[in-house]
Amino acid sequence: MKLAVLFVALASAGVTSAAFAAQLQGKVTDNQGNPVTNALVSVDGGNQVTTDAQGQYRLQVADNSHLHLHISSDKFKHSEQDLKVSSGTITQNFTLSASQIENIVVTASPLGRSALESTTPVTVLSDDQLKLNTEPTLGDTLDKLPGVQASHFGAGASRPIIRGMDGPRVKILENGLSVGDASTVSADHAVTAEAASAQQIEILRGPGTLLYGNGAIGGVVNVVDKRLHEQPVDSFNGEVGARYDTANDGKTLNADLNGGNGQFNWHLDGTRRRTDSYDIPGNAIAEDAATHGTVDNSQLKLDEYAGGVGYTGDNGFIGVSGVRTESNYGIPGRGEEGAPDITIDLKKTAWQLHGGLLNPFAGFSKVRLDAGYTDYQHAEEEDGDADTFFYNKQTEARLTLNNTPWGEWQGAMGLHFIHRDFSVQGAEQLTPNSNTDTVAAFIMQERKVNDFRFELGGRIESYRLKPEAMTLDTLAGEEAYQPQKLSDVNGTLSAGVVWDFDPSYNLSVALTRAERSATAEELYSYGPHDATQSFELGSEFRVENGQIVVNAGNADKEIANNLDLTLRKLDGSWTGSLSMAYNRVNNFFYEANTGLIASDLVNSDEEGDLPVYQYAQGDAELYSLEAQAKIPFNDLWSLDLFSDYTRGKLVDGGNLPRISPLRFGSTLNFDLDQWHADVGMIAYSRQNDVADNETETAGYTLVNASVTYRLFSDNGDMLLYLKGTNLTDQEARPHTSLLKDYAPLMGRNLMLGVSYSF
């Protein structure tokens, strides 16, 4: 953390001194001359500001420089302008054209581009849509977005799946830094990023993941909260909310407060959630009438509270935030008589530092440091008694420099460091204690040529995984085993182009080659795991005639070659997008069901019928298709449509496990003044493209509806909402879930909520 200490010292000096000799000012309006409020006006790699209630902005910039100015607002098409700035005050006005597609700036993009400018598909969930979609887990919150599914591991541990990839291939971030929990280790471990406290959630694929390295080969989910302020806060504001769910007697309270005097700022937020085991329409286990009506042991409770302080000046910003998360949730069982209830008791403390300096030295317009420290632990309990403990302590720092134009190229580069200390203690120590160190350098550059915007990127990364000795339980007794260390150098290259070939359309193409090294759980897992109800083996072992045999040194890093094409229609009688992707991954890690049960392992002391899952490698191909459209009929009525499909198979034959089937969704919307209402459905096809020893999954259709009303007053705005999910009380068993035979999705649920912002 020495880098963070040094940056704090630099920022303390830098944010208090003005280093600008010129000022840009002007007004942003729409085509009718109305002011556009809260539009973001920014300089590539430099300062940024939002417009006021009159659409006016003032932006401090360096004199005698060439600037590339961007103007963006959620409901408008992006605008940009090249300017040559001299001393004094320069007036530059902008007129924005309306867009029917929400066009939000993506904070996880180092170039600060909006969703419609990305070379690969980007989805941003925010505002009322985020409130209505928020669920107790991040996976369930994002599950209905095109190209995104969820692992649905009970009520407390559901991870996002992007185009058939999950676990260590999907990087979960908070404000651009790793979430630092143990959710990649096993399906029963929760993601500790809380949607209820988020300002927006961003889902990225392709070149935008370059900053984040090993673990982002499938995509990035970035949860952006309100604890960091890059712009001055000169007022007191906040939001409080409450929600009740009928199917699990769920109660959620959340609040956040912000204040500042134009320089110093502060933030507080908190979330409290309590749910009982959730209701279902039939039996949790098909042939077991004792499991009718409820998924037992699917309760959840969570408390999270956070705070932050910061300072903004003419020359930069700095802020520090901390969050404490405490959660306890149940893992649905297999219905075995006398089996204990498994619960996870989780605690996490995390700190983040974010700071930036503008024009730090010649040739660079901005330097930024993002650093964090996470102390995570959870206990796996049987009937309330803890017998296994997981610990993860993680330190991360990323230094990013935005360069001024090199010829016609402009972008960002930097260094990235992660140290992870992971350990397990107790009865189910499936993996050895280990240290993981990642050190990387990256660069991303872009160039605009007429209607084309080209983007190039690269990352070189040193990855070292050092495991300690582990103990294997065998019939001969406990045996000590020292796994091999892993040391790799991973490279990632990307190239993309966005072609604005028509004012109403753009086409983007992206090529990416990425490498990923194996994680400790993929290599070294060994033993029974009651929470996942399986016996797990890493790729360093293999099973021959019932014998577990050491297979050390046989793991290769994954190499993914990805092609992504996206066509967007930005306005007209309808709007929408079509994305197609092909991903060839050599040495793809997947968790295969061997068809064996624990008692078949003749040199293990484990008895019973736990299925044996083995991490294996094979060359794989994944094809993805995502389509969405919005069709307005008039000022009152509109129709939203979407569909997605992922096909995952092994090159040598066979299918990848737990790939979601074809989905199709439609929603009819009604909007009148402060009222919004919608009714829609999502149909899931039958999945019969299954892996070895994997069962087929029946299709199902979920019907949902919602009504919202927004009440405006001089003191604040209130949003009232009523949402119904699975209104036909359909039995739904997602193919992506390891628990599909024991824990179907929630039955009919009504959610009543209120949110007041001031």
Written as one letter, the residue type at 86 is S
Q: Binning pLDDT at 50, 70 and 90, where does residue 9 land?
A: very low
pLDDT of res. 474:
76
Q: Output 174 or 406, whichever has higher pLDDT.
A: 174
% of residues, the chain, pLDDT over 70? 94
Cross-sheet strand order for the sheet of 177-178: 122-126, 198-204, 219-225, 170-174, 177-178
Q: Output 473 or 615, whichever has higher pLDDT.
A: 615
Residue 259: pLDDT over 90: yes
DSSP 8-state secondary structure symbol assigned to residue 13: H
Q: For residue range 119-175, what is the model confidence (pLDDT) as tens digits?
A: 888 889 988 899 999 999 999 999 999 999 999 998 899 999 999 999 899 999 999
pLDDT of res. 328:
97
Tokens 């190499």 -> residue: 559
Q: Output 336 or 525, whichever has higher pLDDT.
A: 525
pLDDT average, residue stretch 309-331: 95
Contact 403, 411 (CB under 8 A): yes
% of residues, the chain, pLDDT over 90? 67
Q: For residue range 621-677, what is the model confidence (pLDDT) as tens digits?
A: 999 999 999 999 999 999 999 999 999 999 999 999 999 999 999 999 999 999 999
pLDDT average, residue stretch 331-350: 91
Residue 465: pLDDT over 60: yes
Residue 67: pLDDT over 80: no
pLDDT of res. 263:
94
pLDDT of res. 6:
44
Query: What sign for the dihedral angle of Cα 459, 195, 357, 4?
Result: negative
Q: Output 660 or 231, whichever has higher pLDDT.
A: 660
Residue 17: pLDDT over 50: no
Residue 365: pLDDT over 80: yes
pLDDT of res. 620:
97
pLDDT of res. 46:
67
pLDDT of res. 562:
93
Q: Output 276 or 98, whichever has higher pLDDT.
A: 276
Cα–Cα distances in angstroms (integers) from residue 381 to residues 176, 303, 378, 530, in the given order: 32, 19, 9, 10
Contact 691, 656 (CB under 8 A): yes
3-state secondary structure of 594: strand
pLDDT of res. 65:
65
Q: For residue range 72-90, what is the model confidence (pLDDT) as tens digits?
A: 777 777 777 777 766 778 7
Q: For residue range 679-718, what is the model confidence (pLDDT) as tens digits?
A: 999 999 999 999 999 999 999 999 999 999 999 998 899 9
Residues 6+ apart with CB under 8 A from 33: none
Q: For residue range 498-543, what is the model confidence (pLDDT) as tens digits?
A: 999 998 999 999 999 999 999 999 999 998 888 888 899 999 988 8
Q: Binning pLDDT at 50, 70 and 90, where does residue 71 land?
A: confident
Please determine, looking at this structure, whether the domain spanning 20-96 carries the CATH number 2.60.120.330.
no
Contact 20, 90 (CB under 8 A): no
- Upper half-sphere CA count for residue 662 (Cβ side, 13 Å): 5
Tell how strand 675-684 and strand 700-712 pair up: antiparallel
Q: Binning pLDDT at 50, 70 and 90, where does residue 62 land?
A: low
CA pair distance 755, 241, nearest whole angstrom: 4
Q: Output 52 or 554, whichever has higher pLDDT.
A: 52
CATH superfamily of 122-757: TonB-dependent receptor, beta-barrel domain (2.40.170.20)
Residue 748: phi and psi, rounded to 5, are -55, 130
- The residue among 605, 555, 563, 559 whose CA lies nearest residue 583 is 563
pLDDT of res. 386:
92
Q: Binning pLDDT at 50, 70 and 90, where does residue 208 land?
A: low
CA pair distance 94, 529, nearest whole angstrom: 60
CA pair distance 83, 90, nearest whole angstrom: 10
Residue 615: pLDDT over 90: yes
Mean of per-residue pLDDT scores for the chain: 89
Residues forming a β-bridge with 117: none
Q: Output 12 or 182, whichever has higher pLDDT.
A: 182
pLDDT average, residue stretch 435-463: 94
pLDDT average, residue stretch 359-376: 93
pLDDT of res. 21:
61
pLDDT of res. 542:
86
> What is the b/e burial string over 243-280, where b = at least 16 CB atoms within 10 angstroms of the residue's CB?
bebebbebebebbbbbebeebebbbbbbbbbebbbbbb
Q: Binning pLDDT at 50, 70 and 90, where does residue 34 land?
A: confident
Single pTM value for the model: 0.89
Tokens 């960002």 -> residue: 412
pLDDT of res. 602:
84
Written as one letter, the residue type at 254 is N
Contact 616, 537 (CB under 8 A): no
Q: Which of 95-99, 176-180, 402-406, 454-458 comes out lowest in average pLDDT?
A: 95-99
Residue 11: pLDDT over 60: no
Residue 555: pLDDT over 90: no
pLDDT of res. 280:
97
Q: Output 274 or 39, whichever has higher pLDDT.
A: 274
pLDDT of res. 272:
98
Residue 207: pLDDT over 70: no
pLDDT average, residue stretch 100-104: 67
Contact 670, 689 (CB under 8 A): no
CA pair distance 178, 374, nearest whole angstrom: 9
Q: Domain coordinates of the chain in residue numbers?
A: 20-96, 122-757
Tokens 């008895």 -> residue: 607
- The residue among 550, 743, 584 whose CA lies nearest residue 157 is 743
